[in-house]
Amino acid sequence: MAYKTVNPYNNELVKSYPDATSEEIEDALSTGQALYKKWRDEPVADRGIILHTIADLLRENEDELAKIATIDMGKLLSESKGEVELCAIIADYYADNGADLLKPTPISSRNTGDAEILHQATGILMMVEPWNFPYYQIMRVFAPNFMVGNPMILKHASNTPGSAAAFESIIEQAGAPAGSLTNLFASYDQVSDIIGDPRVQGVALTGSKRGGQSVAETAAKNLKKNSMELGGSDAFVVLSDADVDKAVDLAWRVRIYNAGQVCTSDKRFIVADNLYDEFLKKLKANFESLVPGDPMDPKTTLAPMNSERAKNKLQGQIDKAVANGAKIYYGDQPIDLPGQFIQPTILTDVAKDNPEFYDEFFGPVAQVFKVSSDQEAIDLANDSELGLGGIVVSADPQHGKAVAEKIETGMVFVNSFLVSLPELPFGGVKGSGYGREMSSLGLTAFTNEKLVVTAQEPDWNNPAGGLAVFKK
Ligand code: NAP
């Protein structure tokens, strides 16, 4: 049984889950296909009513859902509660706006007739999701595609099966028809088989480069449209005119939230030389004041990482960076608790030839760099194989915006946290993947953008169709 919950705070095996069977997979595919056909004849707005009920149930069950997520992957209980609320916000947004956003788009064309683009469902979508936001990652794909009418099959991370089952149960309780979202505890091979099935029309993955490459390859082989939301090594740029206290106040939070395991949490802090020393000192003071402990306890401010494997991987990266010349400004000491804790760590002097320079540190590790101009900050921010998000801090928002416009990522926020909201597109460029989730872009990521032209009669004089030559 590959799917199991091991509480990362105390390493207890909480529950194992049986692997998906071939019968369950066939059932998910045939139920999903039948639902796709049924939904094609039903008004989009009807699904909005169910999506509102899903939002209501998420809020009613927030405490229980939050506990499940925290036990699955270790984040602070308050963070889990915030995640459940965000899921409800996303569901409400698509329930309220989905039908309008999916109305046909008219095109002004020559004398051909009335041209419009219909945004129609395409069929079953396979979604592969990670453990770091075990509900929100599902909801980002679920809410828009539920409105579109694409039934979904979910393969969640093997360490968050409790959250996957709880999410599926909320959808069932809300009265969504069977097949709307079927969670399967599927192996990689079974995921490949599902992607290859002719009833499946799309694949959405959020995860690592390794997982993304493998799933995208299978999708490409089977000519299935896919979107890839992969890693990030976002830059947090502190410009020379910034208020250093305000910058640090943002910096420690974005690095520690979710124990640093966020694709868009800034991992590289690029600081103007006049502020560098003060920034380091104040970042360290904030890291020092964090309290590791039980993520269920409201006094805890530093959560464990999600698994032993993740902790070992991050520790290995710190060791390798240091072995190749990086310096520990703060941290890298063991924490005397049985769970998967890493002390927040600040690395400096990570040179370009350090093998860790281009790696994503997926945990509470901040790399801090000193630069002497805006251009140097921009060049360093862009010297990355990844391009997901980023933050720029400046006393002058227009100055910050001018720098933000030059950063090669999918999202940049000036003087603010990078927030994820349903009306804002989420996604990256370069090694961070392709496609966008949420917003109107995410809503139409897996639609058939179908052209329909309706004329009273053929326009034989129209040269564009080439038929004028046959005119009687
Ligand atoms: P991962 O190993 O790629 O796992 C993500 C999901 O993909 C899991 O469900 C995993 O299943 C599955 N998977 C991996 N390889 C697969 C394969 N060959 N076939 C089928 N399924 C496969 O990612 P992770 O390391 O746990 O997650 C962290 C990464 O995700 C980081 O790089 C982070 O930046 C990125 N991330 C990106 C975003 C974004 O929106 N751009 C958001 C969050 C996280 P198993 O659990 O069974 O291995």
Question: Does the Cβ of 20 fall within 6 Å of ligand 1?
Answer: no
Task: Say how far apart CA 51 and CA 175 lie, in whole Å.
Answer: 9
Region 283-294: mean pLDDT is: 98
Catalytic, 60? Answer no
**What kind and span of H or E run contains 365?**
strand 365-371
**What kind and span of H or E run contains 3?**
strand 3-6
Given a cut of 70, whether residue 418 has pLDDT beyond it is: yes
The residue from 83, 129, 168, 229 that is catalytic is 229
11 CA distance to ligand 1 middle (Å): 21
Task: Say how far apart CA 208 and CA 228 lie, in whole Å.
Answer: 9
Catalytic, 129? Answer no
Pocket test for ligand 1, best of 83, 128, 267, 306 (most atoms within 8 A of CB): 128
Task: Say how far apart CA 311 and CA 326 lie, in whole Å.
Answer: 19
Q: How many CB atoms lie within 10 A of CB 79?
A: 18
| Digit-coded pLDDT (tens) for 51-99 | 999 999 999 999 999 999 999 999 999 999 999 999 999 999 999 999 9
* 252: nearest Cα among 302, 180, 211: 302
Contacts of 28 by beta carbon, 8 Å cutoff, 6+ apart: 153, 179, 182, 184, 194
Pocket test for ligand 1, best of 4, 185, 208 (most atoms within 8 A of CB): 208
Q: What is the pLDDT of residue 467?
A: 64
Q: How many CB atoms lie within 10 A of CB 325?
A: 12
**What is the pTM for the complete model shown?**
0.97
| Digit-coded pLDDT (tens) for 327-382 | 999 999 999 999 999 999 999 999 999 999 999 999 999 999 999 999 999 999 99
Tokens representing 237? 């740029």
Question: Do the Cβ atoms of 156 and 129 come closer than 8 Å?
Answer: yes
Q: What is the pLDDT of residue 107?
A: 94
Q: What is the pLDDT of residue 460?
A: 77
